[in-house]
Amino acid sequence: MGMKVSEVARLAGVSVRTLHHYDEIGLLRPGGRSAAGYRLYRPEDLARLQQVLFFRELGFPLEEIVRTLSGSPDEVTAALREQRRLLASQAARAGALLAAIDRALEEREGGSVMTDEERFELFGAQDPARHEAEVRARWGQTEAFAESARRTRRYGAREWGAIQAEAGELSAALARLAEAGAPAGGPEAMALAEAHRAHLERWFYPCPAAMHRGLGDLYVDDARFAASYERVRPGLAAYLRDAIRANASRLEAAGAA
């Protein structure tokens, strides 16, 4: 005759509502209905439910499961590969966020909520976890961050507001220079790059020319940082990097780095 909805639900570990839903969306249709309209599931329905729950468990959206289950073996393999890519990305991200939380917990020795806001020197709420990993990878040193944490631990809303305001002004001034066609290696642009470096040194950490160079590269190489500047004005990230490079070369030539 067939199994009723609650039997199937119990056996498969899902809710009756879930089975209703799956029927509605065409993911799992019961093989039959009683005269009273009760859903009646057959063995092949149960077999399909197994498949559905397997793919659901792997994170496939239901709509996609419908498609996958009606596809060829090659299509199923391709779907699994794509899902793997997404899962790998999630796993990496989870790991990075764990590192971020660990860092946040380590550094919570004072009372401020803002212990990790050295990240904000990059002018917006960037992904804190990826930011840290990448800056570390690029710079290969952690002392600057330790120094930054020590300083910013005591900052309050006023300080952060000031930081934000300064950063915004710098960004705007750079955009105006670029708009006016001033060369990135010219004195005005370098002056702004130097102001940027001073801003970092004032609020966060010592920023020698070499480190500043690295930061400039990061602004261009990383899509998120680039996006921050590109939002202000197209090409601004590269402009700032070039200004930083020119400024760094000048500092190094003067032996002041």
Partner DNA sequence: CTTGACCCTCACGCCACGTCAGGGCCTATC
Partner DNA sequence: GATAGGCCCTGACGTGGCGTGAGGGTCAAG
Residues in 176-215 at the binding interface with a second copy, rule: CB under 8 A:
none
Distance in angstroms (rounded) separating the CA atoms of residues 181 and 235 = 12
Residues 215-244 that bind a second copy (CB under 8 A): 224, 227-228, 231-232
Q: Which of 25, 146, 165, 253 binds a second copy (CB under 8 A)?
A: 165
Q: Pick from a second copy, DNA, none: which does 97 bind, CB < 5 to 8 A by kind?
A: a second copy
Please say which residue, 139 or 160, places its beta carbon nearer to a second copy.
160
Structure tokens at 73: 């073996």
For residue 39, the cross-strand partners are 33
Q: Pick from a second copy, DNA, none: which does 21 bind, CB < 5 to 8 A by kind?
A: DNA
Q: Which of 35, 36, 113, 256 binds a second copy (CB under 8 A)?
A: 113
What is the SS3 assignment for 185?
A: coil
- Among all chains, which residue has been given the structure tokens 């800056």? 135
Q: Is 169 in the site for a second copy (CB under 8 A)?
A: no
Distance in angstroms (rounded) separating the CA atoms of residues 133 and 82 = 25
Structure tokens at 252: 């190094």
Q: Is 34 in the site for DNA (CB under 7 A)?
A: yes
Distance in angstroms (rounded) separating the CA atoms of residues 162 and 169 = 11
Q: Is 38 in the site for DNA (CB under 7 A)?
A: yes
Q: Cα–Cα distances in Å, from 141 out to 137, 138, 144?
A: 8, 9, 7
Q: Which of 120, 203, 219, 229 binds a second copy (CB under 8 A)?
A: 120
Cβ-contact 39, 76 below 8 angstroms:
no
Residues 165-224 that bind DNA (CB under 7 A): none
**Applying CB under 7 A, which residues contact DNA?**
4-7, 15-18, 20-21, 34-39, 56, 61-63
